[in-house]
Amino acid sequence: MKRRELLKTATATAGALAIHPLATWADSVPSDAPQEADVIVVGGGTAGTIAAIQAARAGAKTVLIEHGSQLGGTTTVGGVAFPGLFHAWGKQIISGIGWELVEQTVTMDGGKLPDFARPTPRHWQHQVLINPFLYCVLAEEACLRSGVTIHYYEFPHSVQEVAGGWLVESVGPGTRRRLTCRQLIDCTGGADIVGMLKLPRLREEETQPGSMLFKFGGDAFRAGRERLQAVYVHGADSSTSATRTQATLAGRQAMLKQLRKRLQAGDGQTRLLQMQPEAAFRESYRILGETVITREDYASGRRFEDAVCNAFYPIDLHTQHGVRPKPLASGVVPTVPLRALVPKGSRNLLVAGRSVSSDRLANSGLRVQASCMAMGQAAGVTATLAAQHRTTPLDVPFEEIQRKLRDHGAIVPGSA
């Protein structure tokens, strides 16, 4: 196209666009009739993505609300693209949808899985290095194929208990949306919805430091082939937008300080090649559930009667002085009970991910990706069955939960 014709076309297009009035907040105000769903999952991170896929695959009309622009949470936005642990003592103990996505990512990216049959005292050798960008889009594809409706850039402004479930009002730039559901799953990482409902939560005065992940060097970051560098962000708190801002600012400034130090020392490998958009958080609020998993439960591998999944990782409490993981004794595989995913005294509400009901030391092992994925899948199944039976999660026959989890590839402790 000649330049004159191109300008003529561009002008005409701009004129056509200009005659349409801009959308306003008022245009987005919903009608009195809210959108209906069976299950709403809030938070599209490690646990929430899996919970939403599972609920939809099990037949629930599912909505996923995520305040950011992509799925994966700590794995993708945080940059900890190194999930584990799916195997323990030479045996796979966590499978299902999370493992399906991890394995698919490695295969499609031409990567390599660790040798899980070889025992190792270094737990990180059995974590799986994945391409976070590929994982993000494959997780999104899995949601869409299963029928999940995704609402990015939104977060609940209010949550109200109504007959038969919940009324959720979510807001985002230029958007205000009302939705109803029978079951609600809080996968925010800090039990934000539980807090909005004024149900009890647990938290110590001091929290583990977060991390800002980045890469310095002369070669481009090789996603799926290498891990990023990191600096601690002490006092990192994910519970509000203000504290998230503080943590991300502090992380970037700490990274910049290291970069300048290397430049001043004459280090030739000084280019900033990769930096994650926000800090990765390790600890925030946990729920007070119908059961609280203690350090003793975790370290002994207690087999809960209502165990819905396994977990496996050292007790891994980070402090200002670093971390000294405490490995589990040989053969020990902890379990997560359904009642630890149910806020105490609640109905039609589940929680999955690092805000599982647990004490601080148990949580330092439970908070990792494989365990959170397994919890998300268990919550997705339970919420779907509760919606279908028009009951609350703890009234769903537990054998039915176990059976449905196995049907979808999950490993259920103690079930045939």
CATH of the domain at 345: 3.50.50.60
Residue 71 lies in a domain: yes
**pLDDT by 10-residue block (mean), the chain, 416 residues:** 45 40 42 85 98 98 98 97 96 98 98 91 93 98 98 98 96 97 98 98 92 93 95 94 96 96 87 95 96 98 98 92 90 98 98 97 97 98 98 98 98 82
State the pLDDT at residue 415.
Answer: 64
Q: Which residues, including other chains, have CB under 8 Å from residue 33's CB and lie 6 or more apart?
A: none
Q: Which domain holds residue 401?
A: 35-204+284-407
State the pLDDT at residue 22.
Answer: 36
d(CA 375, CA 369): 10
* Dihedral over Cα of 70, 190, 99, 79: its sign: positive
What are the strands, taking DSSP E only, across 356-409? none
Where is the domain boundary, 252, 275, 298? 275
Residue 164 lies in a domain: yes
Q: How many domains does the chain have?
A: 2
Residue 325 lies in a domain: yes
Residue 25 lies in a domain: no
Where is the domain boundary, 275, 294, 311? 275
Q: What secondary structure does DSSP assign to 63-121, as a single string?
A: EEEESSSSS-GGGTTS-------SEETTEE---SHHHHHHHHHHHHTT-----TTS--S
Residue 414 lies in a domain: no
Same domain, 75 and 42: yes
Where is the domain boundary, 254, 275, 296? 275
Spell out the long-range contacts of 29-35 with Cβ–Cβ below 8 A and sequence spacing 24 or more.
29/176, 30/176, 30/177, 30/178, 34/167, 34/178, 34/179, 34/180, 35/63, 35/177, 35/178, 35/179, 35/180
State the pLDDT at residue 405.
Answer: 98
Residue 12 lies in a domain: no
Residue 258 lies in a domain: yes
d(CA 375, CA 241): 26
State the pLDDT at residue 28.
Answer: 52
How much is the pTM? 0.91
Q: Say how far residue 311 (Cα) sits from the centre of its chain.
A: 16
State the pLDDT at residue 1.
Answer: 44
Same domain, 199 and 214: no
